[in-house]
Amino acid sequence: MAINDYFKMQRVINGLDLSRPVYKYIPLKYVITMLKTQKLYVGKVKKWEDTYENFLLKQDFVYDNRHLSADNLMDQIYGQCWTLLSESDAMWRIYSNLSKMNDIAIRIKTTAQRLFDAVYTSDDCMATTSIGSVEYVYKKEILQWIKELHMHTAQDIGNNIVPSLYKKRKPFSHESEVRIIIMHDQDMGEGLSYDITPATMFDDFVIDPRLDTSTVNKIAKKLINLGINVNKIKQSQLYTFTPSLIKL
């Protein structure tokens, strides 16, 4: 089915360049599931750990002297976080648990364009699906932004949910995040799954830099057995040090 590119581009947030590479650090067990099923899984935003995620829907809404809950709307929003950082000491340490093989992280690489193409599957997505870079702002700026919204109806709230999900507090700016956000008009279950072809969607699979050669080879073998080209598999060289020759 042909997709209207003009309307699709309206769903790119904060001027993200879709040609840019994006990266995700994922425990091996989830990479294996993704390769076996050839599905990209997108979970609910309400499960994200930062207490300021979904900050708009966590506000205390009052209408006609009645307090209203937006919990039902939270169940309709799905998202996935990627990063513009090709290497990050923090990401390896946050997402990779060296004590268990299946919890060791693999950093996968694609482009923002391919990622968006995977989840924007028809013109119907114009109403539900977006991609964009996260804007990092101070807490006081978030509060001021909310104050200036002048929301009076449920539609006013709905119109501002997606923009709010592309704002995050300054202390998280080291993440350099890119997000896909999918907002439906009903609860679609615990997660959404999208068909992908991993062999062409992902450019490489980079293994945790702290591992010994034997463990790296075991992980590489698992990926190769699931159809990944050996040339796309490598270990991060983040901690590799090669001294320079200095003649005295």
pTM (predicted TM-score):
0.92
Buried (b) or exposed (e) across 112-150, using 16+ Cβ within 10 A? bbbbbbbbbeeeebbebbbbbbbebeeeeebeebeeeee
Write the DSSP symbol of residue 1: -
Token pair of 148, please?
């200036």
Angle at which helix 28-37 crosses helix 213-225, to 10 degrees, equals 20
pLDDT along the chain (248 residues), means of 10: 89 97 98 98 92 82 70 89 96 95 98 98 94 97 89 77 94 96 93 96 98 97 97 96 91
pLDDT score at 60: 75
d(CA 244, CA 235): 22
Kindly tell me the burial class for residue 189, based on how many C-beta atoms sit within 10 Å of its own C-beta (0-12, 13-18, 19 or more): exposed
What pLDDT score does 51 carry?
Answer: 83
Cβ atoms of 161 and 73 closer than 8 Å? yes
Cα angle value 127/133/135 (rounded, 5°): 110
